[in-house]
Structure 1
Amino acid sequence: MELFSFYNVENLFLPDPEPRHKLDPTISGLRNWDERKYKNKLHKIAHVFQLIKEQNDFLPFIIGLSEVSGREVLEDLIQLEPFNSEYGIVHYNSKDERKVDVALLYDKNKVELIDSEAITFFFENNNKNTENYDTTRDVLYSVLKYKDEVINVFTAHLPSKREKDINRPKRIFILNQIRDRILNLVNAGEHVILCGDFNENPDDENLVKILYGNSQEKVLENPFQQLFSTGNYSTFHYKSGLLFDQIMLSESFFKDDGILSFQNAGIFRCEKISSHDKKFEGRPFRTYSGTRYLGGYSDHFPVYVTLGKV
């Protein structure tokens, strides 16, 4: 049995250097993001996976991450327990304006990295005072080998819904491009996993469309549709529960003859990583609330799927 997980870790930045002037903007955009807070954040994220290990008796063999800034934070993370430098890193610096990327960690004792690619997107910008194009976070494409199975993993963090969802056309474009790649792989009989923070819920039109091929044949399954329909959420916006964090799998994972057959999906909502404030009971214990430092884990819960023979 194996776990595949995805976790939006909320602004994992290196400590900010001391600004020359108090009003100068920081690299992280966070208030007073220093060495102490950075190390606390690393230990908090590592502790989440320790808790996952305690619950399941093993760690996820593949972990998708979002909101990480640079490779160095990942190298610092995997040195800690429970990773103990036994995990490999797949990461590329994207052209995101906030310098946050997606990444993949994998258990080097179980998984071999065959290939990887950063899929970069450019969008026309009509603002004459800036560059003539907009960029966003890359989608990370990784090809991994587990035993005799090759797994194609796409890790995404799609543009946000800020400013009355001005970024929706970008999300549509990115998902259409990824869908074309997925169709080619599925038609060739390959295993595919698409994971990420999609900034859309499982029942949104874009995320329903990506599950189907050109002839309306089912190519991906999204087990998080059922979780969302029964009121299970990975993050919140004001009073609204959201399930933006999802893992979708090709139909090949739903056959009984494979080494990695789908068993179940879930949201890791452990009490220890949940808010201590009764007003926000059942929500993630986040690192910041606006500019106020809380010292928590993340504003998202991790999500996971269990794979393997029963």
Structure 2
Amino acid sequence: MRNNILHSIVLTFIVIFSVQAQKDRKFKAHTIAFYNVENLFDTINDTTKLDERSPIMEMKFNREEVYEKKVKNMARVISEIGADISKNTPAIIGLAEVENRQVVDDLANDSALLHKDYGVVHFDSPDARGIDVALMYQKSLFRPLSTSNHELKIYDDITRKRIYTRDQLLVSGELEGDLIHIIVNHWPSRRGGEARSRPKRVAAAKLNKRIIDSLQAIDPYAKIFTMGDLNDDPTNASVKDVLKAEKDKEDVKLKGIYNPMESFFKQGLGSNAYRDAWSLFDQIMITKPLLEKDFSSFRFFKAGIFNKQYLTNKKGRYKGYPLRSFADGGFTNGFSDHFPVYVIVIKEVL
């Protein structure tokens, strides 16, 4: 692996790598990704939630046309994440800012993804605006064994009224026979300021840690991916103090967590931008068993931010920022205000 000489051979839906070490070794690779798809809402007014505040519902004309284009743009991006290595669309992808199960089904059924036969896991969250998280997976590669949603109960520090936010989604299943666990997150926003809103994300991190601890109590060697839009950077207290995520693989102990995104952040890279500053709110973290050198089962190979040029603004005050779908009260024909992130896992083929 250290020589980094990879020769890819496409076999149907997977790619097999030859790695020149003491002898040639062959690996298969899959992409596991996360994408905040920025207000993927339908055009139907749901009176049980505040979806009328979504950008598409605020538009007076061409809602259906905009929705169809928005879905198509999201599907195009998803179809390309990690494909330069895996030669495939993501085996598994977590999503944030989806309104309901139907919009995820529409995404999975877009022409760019339909032939991959994606399955969907989704639960309605109590979020006031109706924003949910979801998971899409290729049925030929991943088989869910159990799914559950975990409610985050937080309260306003002044009124003591409950703040309704997104659940955390846990999906356990087999990736080509290997048991893995995926947690999809969308932690509370920084509305009201970072400092004032920090306790909400710390609470979200504590819930995430409880889920991870419960899995590791059953199996200390559980392969866990926790992913999402955390509304915090890799160096914030929620990630560093609560999850205790490490930047360097060598520092990860049994039951510990590795955060490959921290190195990107230290290099000045981000997944979203605001007021001339980059943040890396979108992260995928993994547990130690995914770092082992025995590639008889899937292990971590590399991580990335999918920030292709077509996903960025080319001019104006937001030049270089992610090219979002909605701005100034209209549809830009863009993509999202976040870049997707991903990890590649590989397994030796004997």
* 1:49 and 2:83 correspond: no
Pairwise mapping of residues 108-123 of structure 1 onto structure 2 (< 5 A)? 108-123=139-154
Question: Could you list the per-position Cα deviations for residues 21-48 of structure 1 after superposition, in whole angstroms to 9, with x for gaps in the alignment?
Answer: xxx9825254317101100100000111
Pairwise mapping of residues 247-262 of structure 1 onto structure 2 (< 5 A)? 247-258=284-295, 259-262=297-300
Answer yes or no: is the 8 Å Cα contact 2:156–2:163 preserved in 1: yes
Distance 2:277 2:294 in 1: 40
Q: Which secondary structure state, in structure 2, belongs to the residue aligned with residue 272 of structure 1?
A: helix
Distance 1:227 1:110 in 2: 29
How many percent identity over aligned positions? 29
Q: Equivalent residue for 1:139?
A: 168
How far did residue 172 of structure 1 move? 0.9
Q: Which secondary structure state, in structure 1, belongs to the residue aligned with residue 36 of structure 2?
A: strand
How far did residue 169 of structure 1 move? 1.3
How far did residue 206 of structure 1 move? 1.5
Given candidates 267, 273, 276, the residue that maps to 2:311 is 273
Q: Equivalent residue for 1:190?
A: 222
Q: Equivalent residue for 2:69?
A: 40
How far did residue 122 of structure 1 move? 2.2
Given candidates 220, 224, 238, the residue that maps to 2:275 is 238
How far did residue 148 of structure 1 move? 2.5
How far did residue 257 of structure 1 move? 1.5
Which amino acid letter does the alignment assign opposite residue 220 of structure 1?
Answer: I
Pairwise mapping of residues 58-207 of structure 1 onto structure 2 (< 5 A)? 58-84=88-114, 86-125=117-156, 132-165=161-194, 166-187=196-217, 188=219, 189-207=221-239
Given candidates 4, 9, 12, the residue that maps to 2:40 is 12
Q: Which secondary structure state, in structure 2, belongs to the residue aligned with residue 280 of structure 1?
A: coil
The 10-residue stretch of structure 1 (277-286 or 40-49) with the greater mean CA deviation from structure 2? 277-286
RMSD: 2.5
Q: Which secondary structure state, in structure 1, belongs to the residue aligned with residue 74 of structure 2?
A: helix
Which amino acid letter does the alignment assign opposite residue 144 of structure 2?
Answer: L
Gaps of 5+ in 1: none
Q: Which secondary structure state, in structure 1, belongs to the residue aligned with residue 293 of structure 2?
A: coil
Gaps of 5+ in 2: 1-28, 247-251
The 10-residue stretch of structure 1 (279-288 or 6-15) with the greater mean CA deviation from structure 2? 279-288
How far did residue 181 of structure 1 move? 2.4
Which amino acid letter does the alignment assign opposite residue 83 of structure 1?
Answer: L
* 1:26 and 2:52 correspond: yes
Q: Which secondary structure state, in structure 1, belongs to the residue aligned with residue 113 of structure 2?
A: coil
The 10-residue stretch of structure 1 (157-166 or 177-186) with the greater mean CA deviation from structure 2? 177-186
The 10-residue stretch of structure 1 (267-276 or 52-61) with the greater mean CA deviation from structure 2? 52-61
Distance 1:54 1:172 in 2: 34
Q: Which secondary structure state, in structure 2, belongs to the residue aligned with residue 185 of structure 1?
A: helix
Which amino acid letter does the alignment assign opposite residue 309 of structure 2?
Answer: E
How far did residue 286 of structure 1 move? 0.5
Q: Equivalent residue for 1:288?
A: 326
Answer yes or no: is the 8 Å Cα contact 1:16–1:27 preserved in 2: no
Distance 1:294 1:302 in 2: 19
CA 1:27–1:71 in structure 2 vs 1: closer, same or farther (change >3 Å)?
Answer: farther
Report how many residues are paired: 302
Distance 1:286 1:39 in 2: 16
* 1:305 and 2:340 correspond: no
